[in-house]
Amino acid sequence: MIRLALFASGSGSNAENIADYFQNREDVEVSLILSNKRDAYVHVRARRLGIPSCTFSKSEFDEGTAVLELLRRHDIGFIVLAGFLLKVSHPLLEAYPRRIVNIHPALLPKHGGKGMYGDRVHRAVVEAGETESGITIHYVNEHYDEGDIIFQATCEVLPGDTPEELAGRVHALEYTHFPRVIEALLKKIAPRGQQFEF
Ligand code: GAR
């Protein structure tokens, strides 16, 4: 059994979709939802799903001890950032090498980096006149949106698209692919949860 922690800063629709996907499984459990925002809607979703959720401050996150203690207490083996807006701190990166993945709502390396999240990304894509956008799932490293890319899927940007219309198309890609990519990654973890094969 591998236990996942989902980190989300806002609505948490991806977090809920992932939790739904892995419900009633014997090999994977979404055990914890964490946020840097006390009033994030993801906490409401967590309550509904019966998954414990907690909030930490940016300074607690950067310092690491309390968050790592929480992750250890819940025996978390893998971390998924699903709409999480803080840069992941060194203590977490060291404790979970190649075990933290993020989803970005565009085709990295374009339209990523500090401050590029959610609707801002879709606005940038539309304003740049792109004809294609999509999703990028990548390992997390010490830089925003720069870890090795694991998976991308694309969608069209149609003439006259608003950022909201594009967001709808990108969200649909996220819901379809993110849980499946996580599942594929987890299959590559050694049985004892100690080592990746890649
Ligand atoms: C998602 O589209 C995710 O790709 C994006 O935030 C949204 C969260 O939506 N993440 C980033 O922009 C990270 N840079 P949700 O809270 O409804 O899942």
Q: Please give the pLDDT value at position 190.
A: 53
Dist. CA 31 → ligand 1 center (Å): 20
| Domain boundaries, given as residue ranges, for the chain | 1-97, 103-191
- Options 3.30.1490.190, 3.40.630.30, 3.30.450.40, 3.40.50.170; which CATH number does 103-191 get? 3.40.50.170
Q: Please give the pLDDT value at position 99.
A: 97
Average pLDDT of the residues in 72-78: 97
- Residue 130 tokens read as 């792109």
Average pLDDT of the residues in 26-37: 97
Per the residue annotation, which of 104, 111, 122, 138 is the catalytic one?
Answer: 104
Does the C-beta of 17 come closer than 6 Å to ligand 1? Answer: no
Dist. CA 82 → ligand 1 center (Å): 6
**Tally of CA atoms within 13 A in the half-sphere of 84 that contains its CB:** 28
- Options 3.30.870.10, 3.30.450.20, 2.30.30.40, 3.40.50.170; which CATH number does 1-97 get? 3.40.50.170
- Provide CB contacts within 8 A for 152, sequence distance 6+: 107, 108, 134, 135, 136, 137
Q: Are 105 and 82 in contact (CB under 8 A)?
A: no
**Tally of CA atoms within 13 A in the half-sphere of 38 that contains its CB:** 1
Average pLDDT of the residues in 25-36: 97
Q: Please give the pLDDT value at position 189.
A: 77
Is pTM beyond 0.75? Reply is: yes
Using the Cα atoms of residue 68, residue 63, residue 91 and residue 57 in order, give the sign of their dihedral. Answer: positive
Q: Please give the pLDDT value at position 197.
A: 42
